[in-house]
Structure 1
Amino acid sequence: MKFLQTNLPEIETAAELEKLINENENVMVCCGRMGPMCLPVYDVMEELEEDRSNVKFAVMAFDNPEAAVIRNAPECRGFMGLPFTMYYKNGKVADATSSIQNMQQVTSILDKQFAEKA
């Protein structure tokens, strides 16, 4: 059952998240709600999905009990604002942000963490 009305793949279980980050080199997961802080991040992800074929984009509902794997991650300790956005590289957390992010903020993290090696 989808909780978030986005055009992005939605992760529903911790096992699905684990599979996604283990099967893909670069993954961005936005864990949030359908609210004013989260919607702009989903929009940025939807826009980038077409241009960044080297990155798998997905969303996860913050209130889903299975999202505890993100909510309780050490990288998210002290986060106050939704969404919690996790960037995974080769199965490990490469970066994490909280609250609203704009296109420039997201692309700078993607460029830094997931740069395609020449």
Structure 2
Amino acid sequence: MLYTNLKHIETAADFQQTIAESGQVVIVCGRMGEFSIPVYRILEELQTEYTPVKFFDMEYDNPESSIVCELFADESEAKVPFLLFYENGELIYRTWGTKTREDLVAILREIIRNMK
């Protein structure tokens, strides 16, 4: 389990249930390492500002995270953390790597503006 203040997803079944039942969802899949920790901290802050959106983490080294890794299999340059944005069970945006607060706010604003 990751040591964050985000809600944790531990199994592929939890992942499927989360995206199916949670409306607007951001999932970050990474490690407790130098590239992922800053993203976790930013998302912890943003979850208080973007309350309609549910924020979750999933540990990259958990075998159950293969459900996330498969979504990036076609990207040879993809690096953790992986970020997934869902609305009502549909993947609407994905990205990877370290992001700044400004990057994540811009992504969230664009996605929220385009949500159904």
Same fold (TM > 0.5): yes
Q: Classify the secondary structure of the residue corresponding to 1:16.
A: helix
Instruction: Say whether residues 1:98 and 2:90 are aligned partners.
Output: no
Residue 89 of structure 1 is matched in structure 2 by 87
Residue 55 of structure 1 is matched in structure 2 by 53
Gaps of 5+ in 1: none
Instruction: Say whether the 8 Å CA contact 1:21–1:90 is kept in structure 2.
Output: yes
Distance 1:76 1:57, change over 3 A: farther
Residue 74 of structure 2 aligns with an amino acid whose one-letter code is R
> Percent identity among equivalent residues?
34
Counterpart-to-counterpart distance in 2, 1:43 and 1:76: 26
Gaps of 5+ in 2: none
Counterpart-to-counterpart distance in 1, 2:43 and 2:114: 18
What's the TM-score, normalizing by structure 2?
0.91
Instruction: Say whether the 8 Å CA contact 1:76–1:84 is kept in structure 2.
Output: no
Q: Classify the secondary structure of the residue corresponding to 2:79.
A: coil
Counterpart-to-counterpart distance in 2, 1:83 and 1:109: 15
**What displacement does 1:50 show?**
0.7
Q: Classify the secondary structure of the residue corresponding to 1:72.
A: helix
Q: Classify the secondary structure of the residue corresponding to 1:63.
A: coil
Instruction: Say whether residues 1:77 and 2:77 are aligned partners.
Output: no
Counterpart-to-counterpart distance in 1, 2:73 and 2:107: 16
Residue 85 of structure 2 aligns with an amino acid whose one-letter code is Y
Q: How is 1:1-118 mapped onto 2 (pairs within 5 angstroms)?
A: 3-73=1-71, 75=72, 77-78=74-75, 79-115=77-113
Q: Classify the secondary structure of the residue corresponding to 1:56.
A: strand
Note the aligned Cα RMSD (angstroms): 1.5
Counterpart-to-counterpart distance in 2, 1:76 and 1:41: 21
What's the TM-score, normalizing by structure 1?
0.90
